[in-house]
Amino acid sequence: MFKEYRIQGFSYGRHLEREWERNLMHLLLMALPYHEVALHQAAKQIDDPLIVGFTLLVLFDIGSGIVKGLRSNHTATRTNSTKGTYGLAKNFILMIGVLAFYPYLISIGFDYVAQVMVLTFCYQYLVSIVENLNQMDIQVPWLSPIIDSLAKALNVAKAQDDYNPADFHKITGDYKGNKEEK
């Protein structure tokens, strides 16, 4: 009834009595080429709820940014093709980076790091969406507790009401606004 199996120098037999244990051992002892594992992880992204949620947040952020430019009373220039092009390029590069690194990190065994990376970007996009809605005078107070709990769980900075992105250099992040003198 029980056979002894030999795979790559390892043997197991009578001590594994259940079918699932034998199947698990086959999977553990089998060595897949890395490119097959990486391609499998990349193909699985289409069904990954974290990636689907991230993609929806990016699309909603782009849409809310476009609507903000058309509708906002706070934006001096309203629509600006330079800002829109820069924002689309930034979102595109970030999406390509996440969609490339997420399956890579999972395939080398860093699942937790990959998930925290995607969740952190989801948080940043959620904050951006709330900022866009606030600039369009659409209040979403029910979203504040969600953002606060995510900020605490991910250990990232919260959205600040007094933050003005125009005070910072777009690439280096250096402060270039009015410095307060002491």
3-class SS of residue 177: coil
In the chain, where the domains are located: 1-31, 34-167
- What is the reported pLDDT for 11? 46
What residues contact 104, with CB distance under 8 A and at least 6 apart?
38, 41
E strand or H helix that includes residue 5: strand 5-7
Residue 98: per-residue pLDDT: 94
Rounded-to-integer distance, Cα 5 and Cα 28, Å: 13
pTM above 0.85, yes or no: no
One pLDDT digit (tens) per residue for the chain, 182 residues: 444 444 444 444 444 445 555 555 456 546 667 777 777 778 888 888 999 999 999 999 999 988 888 876 655 555 666 777 888 899 999 999 999 999 888 888 888 899 999 999 998 898 888 888 888 878 888 877 777 777 777 666 555 556 667 777 777 777 776 665 44
Q: What is the pLDDT of residue 2?
A: 44
pLDDT at 136: 82
Q: How many CB atoms lie within 10 A of CB 68?
A: 21
pLDDT on residue 100: 92
Strand partners of residue 12: 5
- Which amino acid appears at position 58 of this protein? V
Determine the distance from the C-alpha atom of residue 82 to the mean position of all C-alpha atoms in its chain, rounded to a whole number.
Answer: 25
Whether 140 and 131 have beta carbons less than 8 Å apart is answered as: no
Read off the pLDDT of residues 41-83 as tens digits, 9 standing for 90 and up. Answer: 788 888 889 999 999 999 999 999 888 888 766 555 556 667 7
CB 116 within 8 A of CB 154: yes
- The pLDDT assigned to 15 comes to 46
pLDDT (0 to 100) of residue 91: 92
